[in-house]
Chain A
Amino acid sequence: MYSFDVVRPKSVADAVAALGEEEAQALGGGQTLIPSLKQRLAAPAVLVSLASIDEIKGVSSEGGTLKIGGGTTHGTVAREVASSYPALAAMAGNIGDPAVRNRGTIGGSLANNDPAACYPAAALASGATIVTSNREIAADDFFEGLFTTALEEGEIITAVQFPIPEKAAYIKFEQPASRFALVGVFVAKFADGVRVAVTGASEDGVFRWTEAEAALSGDFSAAALDGLSVPADGLMTDLHGSAAYRAHLIGVLTKRAVAQA
């Protein structure tokens, strides 16, 4: 690793000020950032740890909407939303392993927007709102491609608001070594329609499968998906699976998610 300092502000305001300095970068749980610092893929002068900011941690709910602080760990989400939003709790409880879940945060996962990460699918399928240090961004406008989001330099995710669906499920086909999604599909059924988000598959990162959404909004059953498929064009091919294989998995996992929801 290159050398840098670590600072630990206690409020969002102090963190934003610290991030305004030259070459400063936010440190969430470090479960993605620390491995990339070891590979010298980043060279910050100062890391601004968000872990001491109590105001961005924890879960609360208000009128059918869950609010999860941006610094809340996957482990806390898995425990605390188990009864209010079980599909989200199950997704969080299957990220990586317990040690990763004890450090990694929702804000870090969304800001990172790894094309194989789980949270982007949950946020997009739920129609979540990402609350930052200076604005609110709809999930539909937040994810802008591989490792790219609408966040501006120094902007911190302070909370994420999830409308709670009537039914939902996330099915991850795990890449067995990393436990990331080889393909993951999150299906969420609301009173006014169904949303389907796919991660792990596209060269542009998480996306909504709108044909499946239309079919499922009329008839929420696995059979409603018969005959629908996602073209392999634009899907990822790597040593774990070809684009055609991923396209096939999307269909299979979406059916399984509907059956489980």
Chain B
Amino acid sequence: MTKVTMTVNGKAVSKEVRGNMLMTEFLRDELHLTGTHVGCDTSQCGACNIHVNGETVKGCTIFAAECDGAEVGTIEGQANADGSLNVIQQAFQDHHGLQCGFCTPGMVMSAATLLKENPKPTEAEIRHYLEGNICRCTGYHNIVKAIMAASGQDVSTIAAE
């Protein structure tokens, strides 16, 4: 066991962890932050995406011990301070960017770093950025549309409803 200390959604946490404890386990089982989903547990689907020092990473493919000293962000920290949905979350709701919602936390976390790096992405850039986020329900069109809308761009040219 090693002791790790990190900031999760702005709050400092300290815990003893096993070397082989993944961030997904640390967040879900130790901190009870179950918004970070485990879809595949094989680094393919992105449902577990979290932010570590401002970058999107797969929570199922990084150990808690590697995050000692890091700033970690999860879907639970995404809403506005007053508890209302942030721009990206609201756009997912407005544009029907989710159905079952299982992939959504990872999608929102990816979208957040995309828009930070590239505030006005093209449709093709959004699709390229989401290559590691798998959704089994929506067919992706409305997710792309939601992210376009969240970036303040016209979405009337994106076809699918």
Interface residues of A (CB under 8 A from B): 1-6, 8, 27, 30-31, 34-35, 37-38, 46-47, 49, 51, 75, 96-100, 102-103, 177-179
Interface of B is mostly: mixed
Chain B residues in 8 Å Cβ range of A177:
44
Q: In whole angstroms, how far apart are the Cα atoms of A51 and B62 in the complex?
A: 11
Give complex CA distance A46, B20 in Å. Answer: 10
Any A CB within 8 A of the CB of B123: no
Query: B66 contacts A6, CB within 8 Å?
Result: yes
Most chain A CB neighbours (cut-off 10 Å) among B56, B66, B133: B66
Q: Are B61 and A103 in contact (CB under 8 A)?
A: yes
- Given the known interface contacts A97-B46, A99-B132, A103-B61, the answer about A3 and B19 at a Cβ–Cβ threshold of 8 Å is yes
- Which residues of A lie under 8 Å from residue B44 when comparing CB positions? 177-178
B20 and A4 within 8 A (CB): yes
Residues of A within 8 Å of B43, CB to CB, are: 31, 34-35, 100
State how many angstroms separate the Cβ of B90 from the closest Cβ of chain A.
23
Q: How far is the CA of A46 from the CA of B19 in the complex (A)?
A: 8
Shortest Cβ distance from B95 into chain A, in angstroms?
22
Nearest CB of B to A146, in Å: 21
Q: Which residues of the partner chain A approach B63 to less than 8 Å between Cβ atoms?
A: 6, 30, 34, 47
* Residue B65 is within 8 A (CB to CB) of chain A in the complex: yes
Partner of B41 from the list A2, A27, A30, A38 (CB cut-off 8 Å) is A38
Q: Is there an interface contact between B58 and A51, defined as CB atoms closer than 8 Å?
A: no
Across the interface, do A1 and B66 meet the contact criterion of CB distance under 8 Å? no
Q: 8 Å CB contacts to A: which residues of B107-132? A: 110, 113-114, 129-132
With contact pairs A4-B19, A97-B131, A102-B56 given, residues A35 and B66 touching in the complex (Cβ less than 8 Å)? no
Query: Which of these, B19, B55, B110, B132, contacts A47 with CB under 8 Å?
Result: B19
Chain B residues with Cβ under 8 A from A98's Cβ?
56, 110, 113-114, 129, 131-132
Q: A6-B66, A31-B61, A35-B43 are in contact. Are A99 and B49 (CB under 8 A)?
A: yes
Cβ–Cβ < 8 Å partners of B57 in chain A: 99, 102-103
The 10 A-B pairs of least Cβ separation, nearest first, read A97-B132, A6-B65, A5-B19, A97-B131, A1-B20, A6-B19, A102-B55, A99-B58, A34-B61, A4-B19
User: How distant is the Cα of A37 from the Cα of B18 in the complex, in angstroms?
Assistant: 14
| Contact between chains at B56 and A3 (CB < 8 Å) | no
* Cα–Cα distance between A97 and B2 once the two chains are bound (Å): 30
19 contacts between A and B (CB under 8 A): A3-B19, A5-B19, A6-B19, A6-B63, A6-B66, A8-B66, A8-B68, A30-B61, A30-B62, A30-B66, A34-B43, A34-B61, A34-B63, A38-B41, A49-B66, A98-B110, A98-B131, A99-B61, A177-B44
Interface string of B16-33 (1 = CB under 8 A from A): 001110100000000000
Chain B residue nearest to A100 (CB atoms) is: B132
Which of A34, A38, A96, A98 neighbours the largest number of chain B CB atoms within 10 Å of its CB? A98
Instruction: Give the residues in chain B near A103, CB-CB below 8 Å.
Output: 57-58, 61-62
CB contact under 8 A between A179 and B61, given known A1-B20, A5-B2, A31-B43: no
User: Is B42 engaged at the interface, CB distance under 8 Å to the other chain?
Assistant: yes
Q: How far is the CA of A46 from the CA of B66 in the complex (A)?
A: 13
State the CA gap A2–B20 with chains docked (Å).
Answer: 8
Residue of B nearest to A47 (CB): B19
- Residue from B2, B18, B41, B56 within 8 A of A99 (CB atoms): B56
Of chain A, the residue at the smallest CB distance from B129 is A98
Closest chain A residue, CB of each to CB of B40:
A35
**A35 B61 Cβ-Cβ under 8 A:** yes
| A27 and B62 alpha carbons, distance in the complex (Å) | 10
Known contacts A100-B132, A102-B55; can you find 10 more A-B pairs with CB under 8 A?
A: A1-B20, A5-B2, A6-B2, A6-B66, A34-B43, A38-B42, A96-B131, A96-B132, A98-B131, A99-B57
